[in-house]
Each structure stands twice: as structure tokens, then as C-alpha cells.
Amino acid sequence: MSEGSEVTLDSVKERTGGRSARVRQSVLDAARAELLEGGYGSMSHASVARRAGVDRATVYRRWPSKARLAMDSLVGLADNSVAFPDRGPVESDLREMATSVAKLLETPSISHLFQALIAAQAEDPSLREVGAGFWKERLEIGAHIVTAAVDRGEIDPVEDPAHVLEVMISPLYFRALISCQEIDQAFIDDSVDRAVAMLAFPG
């Protein structure tokens, strides 16, 4: 009766602390650095392992595919480069955010990160839901600009705040990552104006 045999069945056998955690972190950091520098194409298990100071086989064992490695290194990356102001009038808050996004997208290294995210999703369809969660969360945070304005009583309640943000930034990402067109100030302003219009006429 005092047998503990079945207890070992659900005992945790996977190691999460100590060296394993250290290795995992350095590999993830190294992968992110590789993506920042050369983009998805130039990143490899070998280059990441070298930079992280671990063996090549270790990286292969933990992340069998390059796509998963890239995704793991990017998800959870708290990017504080984007401004999420919620004090001024909504319009200026939105304008400030759109501007910071545009500026971020024209930074080659940052652009590499987003392209890596896309490439990873393209190579491994099972990663699409991970990426979906990443963007969902990101838009929710951005939607705070709108909800804050509602709370201040500045504007009427909005049905889907995240959708407003999505519409505002979509053209920016489209031009930066897909159609490779220049993003000038007029384009940013237009995006902001359209978002503001959505708040004024929620039809």
C-alpha cells in the first residue's frame, strides 16, 4: 500500500532548471541575434549553436526545424519600441503609434524579424496558430489606445477596438513587408485618418 510505483508515472522527468534553462535561453538569444543581423535565410542551426556556445546537436535535438527555432525565439519578445500612448486625444495617440510602427518597419534588422516570423509560418503550418496568438495579443495591446479614449469619455464605445488598429496598421505592414513600397508621411496620415473615421462613424 505504501508503494510509490504509480507515483513515478506522473512524476516530472523533464528538466527545466539549471543548465537546461541556461542553454535554452542562450540558444534563443543567439537565434534572435542571428535573425536580427542576417534574417531568416542566413540563420542556421550551426550559426546559432556557435553563437550560443553550445553543440550543434543540442540545438537540433531541442528544435528539430529551423522554423520552430525562429518562432520560439521571437514569440514572447516584448517589443517596447512601439509607442502605446493613451493620454492625448485619440487621434494623436494613434498618429504616434502609426509613426513608431512605420519607423520600426523601415529598420532593416526589425524588418528581418517580421519576415522571419512570416517565413516560419510559411514553412511550418502548425506554427500559424502560434503566430496568430502573437498578433492577437499585439493588437489587443494596441487597442488599449482606443479603449482608453472610451474610458475617458472622449469617444463613444467601439465594438471592436482591435479591428480599428488592425485596419490602421495593415497598409503599413503591407507596404513594408509585401509590396515593398515607400511609406511616406502622407500615407501614415491617411491611415490614421481612416482609423479616426472608423471611431467617428462606427457603421
Partner DNA sequence: ACAGAAACGCGACATTTGTGGCATTAGTGG
Partner DNA sequence: CCACTAATGCCACAAATGTCGCGTTTCTGT
**127 close to 120: Cβ distance less than 8 angstroms:** yes
| Minimum distance of a copy of itself from residue 64's CB (angstroms) | 14
CA distance 195 to 173: 15
**72 close to 120: Cβ distance less than 8 angstroms:** no
**Grid cell for residue 129:** 496558430
Binding of DNA by 122 (CB under 7 A): no
Among 171, 188, 192, 196, binds a copy of itself (CB under 8 A): 171
Which of 138, 134, 202 minimizes the C-alpha distance to 165? 138
Q: How far is CA 159 from CA 86, 146, 196, in A?
A: 18, 11, 14
Binding of a copy of itself by 41 (CB under 8 A): yes
Among 28, 69, 105, 119, binds a copy of itself (CB under 8 A): 119
Binding of DNA by 20 (CB under 7 A): yes
Which of 95, 96, 115 minimizes the C-alpha distance to 105? 115
Find the binding residues for a copy of itself in span 73-102 (CB under 8 A).
none
Question: Which of these ranges, 11-19, 75-83, 95-103, 178-186, lies near a copy of itself under the rule CB under 8 A?
Answer: 178-186
Binding of DNA by 46 (CB under 7 A): yes
Binding of DNA by 7 (CB under 7 A): yes
Question: Which of these ranges, 41-49, 82-90, 108-116, 163-171, lies near DNA under the rule CB under 7 A?
Answer: 41-49
DSSP at 88 = S
**Grid cell for residue 9:** 508515472
CA angle, residues 154, 155, 161, in degrees to nearest 5? 120
Binding of a copy of itself by 39 (CB under 8 A): yes
Binding site for a copy of itself (CB under 8 A): 39-41, 67, 112, 114-119, 121-123, 128-129, 131-132, 135-136, 139, 163, 166-167, 169-171, 173-174, 177-181, 190, 193-194, 197-198, 203
